[in-house]
């Protein structure tokens, strides 16, 4: 994307958090802990799934890819934010800003698709168990994963390419800790009304199509669970999708609050808090939710730790 010939502004300033220097170091420590925990937690989940043969099933194939996506998602924004907090250098080139937004948008789309695919997997496992293995074959699962990644990367290229062609002049300050779409549109000297509508309609389509699919899947799951006579049986069935359901609520609650709402009546501080929640807090919580609420993952982690401990002792 060659954009330098189209712009007079060569770099943006990410204003980040308007706090004193001491508090900036405190935020650096907190966010550094959350970032390293996110990377570590998701890495453990991937390794455990890879090393544990009984977890080589469709649900955990999707979970492993979801964990890898979460690591990439956090790494798009957090290293730059941590560098800014530590050094005070908050400059980012225009091409760097557009590139960051591209990967942030791509990985956000992938997260939506994976949440939908994981809901479909739970729907088949609970509502159609006799045909589950026939439908969710190893080949079909890998095709779903590949299509999810390819569609997200290729489908996001056009809006980001058009965004890279915008002209920027005058103001160059972004009141956030990463490059989001709205402030870039607002800083452009070009008329962005058509591109802005196209971009946010695309976000609406991705978010609400996946969310509607997830809601329909869970409505069928709930109807099946209600037909189970015993409370213990209902709890056991619901526990297989409890982690996914919790992640869905956290993710869509924050994304809809941020992007799918009226523009008036909200402050930059409120938007920044929401940005922190869906870009930092949610990826930090997801591996904790999956490891604490998923019995198979907990047992596999304990077994993996025990086997490695024995190897070191012996």
- Whole-number pLDDT of residue 136: 92
Coil, helix or strand at residue 14: strand
pTM of the model: 0.86
pLDDT of 236-288, one tens digit each?
777 777 788 888 988 888 888 776 665 554 556 677 788 888 889 989 988 88
Q: What is the mean pLDDT of residues 218-231?
A: 86
pLDDT exceeds cutoff 90 at 35: yes
* pLDDT on residue 310: 47
User: Of all residues in the chain, what percent carry a pLDDT higher than 70?
Assistant: 90
Calculate mean pLDDT across residues 32-50. Answer: 93
Question: 3-class SS at 57?
Answer: coil
Average pLDDT over the chain, rounded to an integer:
84
**Which residues have C-beta within 8 Å of that of residue 187, sequence separation ≥ 6?**
9, 12, 168, 170, 171, 172, 174
pLDDT surpasses 90 at 81: yes
Residue 308 has pLDDT above 80, yes or no: no
List of residues 6+ apart from 201 with CB closer than 8 A: none
Predicted confidence at residue 4, as pLDDT, reads: 44
- The larger pLDDT score, comparing residue 8 to residue 276, is at 276
The bridge status of strand 173-174 relative to strand 91-93 is: unpaired
More confident residue, 200 or 149: 149
Residue 297 and residue 51: Cα distance in Å, rounded?
12
Mean pLDDT computed over 105-121: 93
Class of residue 134 by CB neighbours under 10 A (exposed 0-12, middle 13-18, buried 19+) = exposed
What's the pLDDT score for residue 181? 85
The CA-CA-CA angle for residues 189, 184, 283, to 5°, reads 175
User: What CA–CA distance (Å, rounded) separates 27 from 88?
Assistant: 13
What ranges in 156-267 are assigned the alpha helix state H? 157-164, 181-187, 193-226, 231-259
Helices (H), 227-313: 231-259, 268-276, 282-293, 295-313
Burial-class residue 174 by CB neighbours within 10 Å (0-12, 13-18, 19+).
Answer: buried
Determine the pLDDT at residue 268: 61
4-313 architecture in CATH?
Answer: Up-down Bundle (1.20)
Q: CA-CA distance, 264 to 50, in Å (whole number)?
A: 47
> CA-CA distance, 314 to 310, in Å (whole number)?
6
CA distance 128 to 204: 30
pLDDT higher for 68 or 17? Answer: 68
What's residue 260's pLDDT?
Answer: 63
Q: In what order do the strands lie in the sheet with 11-14?
A: 91-93, 11-14, 173-174
Residue 74 has pLDDT above 90, yes or no: yes
C-alpha span between 15 and 91 (Å, rounded):
9
pLDDT band at 72 (very low <50, low <70, confident <90, very high): very high
Tell me the pLDDT tens digit for each residue of 127-182. 888 899 899 998 999 999 999 999 999 988 888 888 888 888 878 888 888 998 88
Q: So what's the pLDDT on residue 312?
A: 47
């Amino acid at each position: 994307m060659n954009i330098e010939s189209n712009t007079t502004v060569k770099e943006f300033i990410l204003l980040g958090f308007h706090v004193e220097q001491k508090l900036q170091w405190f935020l650096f420590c907190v966010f550094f802990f959350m970032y390293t925990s996110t990377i570590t937690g998701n890495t453990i989940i991937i390794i455990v799934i890879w090393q544990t043969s009984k977890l080589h099933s469709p649900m955990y194939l999707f979970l492993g890819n979801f964990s890898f996506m979460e690591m990439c998602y956090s790494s798009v924004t957090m290293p730059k934010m941590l560098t800014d907090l530590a050094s005070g250098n908050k400059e980012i080139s225009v091409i760097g800003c557009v590139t960051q937004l591209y990967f942030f948008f791509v990985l956000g789309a992938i997260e939506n698709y994976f949440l939908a695919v994981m809901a479909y997997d739970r729907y088949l496992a609970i509502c159609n168990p006799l045909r589950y293995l026939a439908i969710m074959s190893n080949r079909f699962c890998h095709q779903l994963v590949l299509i999810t990644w390819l569609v997200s990367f290729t489908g996001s290229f056009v809006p980001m390419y058009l965004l890279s062609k915008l002209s920027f002049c005058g103001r160059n300050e972004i009141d956030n800790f990463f490059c989001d779409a709205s402030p870039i549109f607002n800083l452009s000297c070009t008329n962005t009304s058509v591109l802005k509508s196209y971009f946010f309609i695309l976000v609406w389509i991705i978010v609400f199509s996946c969310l509607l699919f997830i809601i329909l899947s869970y409505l069928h799951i709930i109807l099946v669970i209600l037909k189970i006579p015993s409370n213990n049986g209902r709890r056991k069935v619901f526990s297989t999708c409890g982690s996914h359901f919790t992640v869905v609520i956290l993710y869509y609650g924050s994304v809809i609050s941020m992007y799918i709402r009226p523009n008036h009546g909200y402050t930059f501080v409120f938007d920044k808090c929401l940005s922190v929640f869906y870009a930092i807090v949610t990826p930090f919580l997801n591996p904790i939710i999956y490891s604490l609420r998923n019995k198979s993952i907990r047992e596999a982690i304990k077994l993996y730790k025990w086997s490695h401990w024995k190897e070191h002792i012996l």
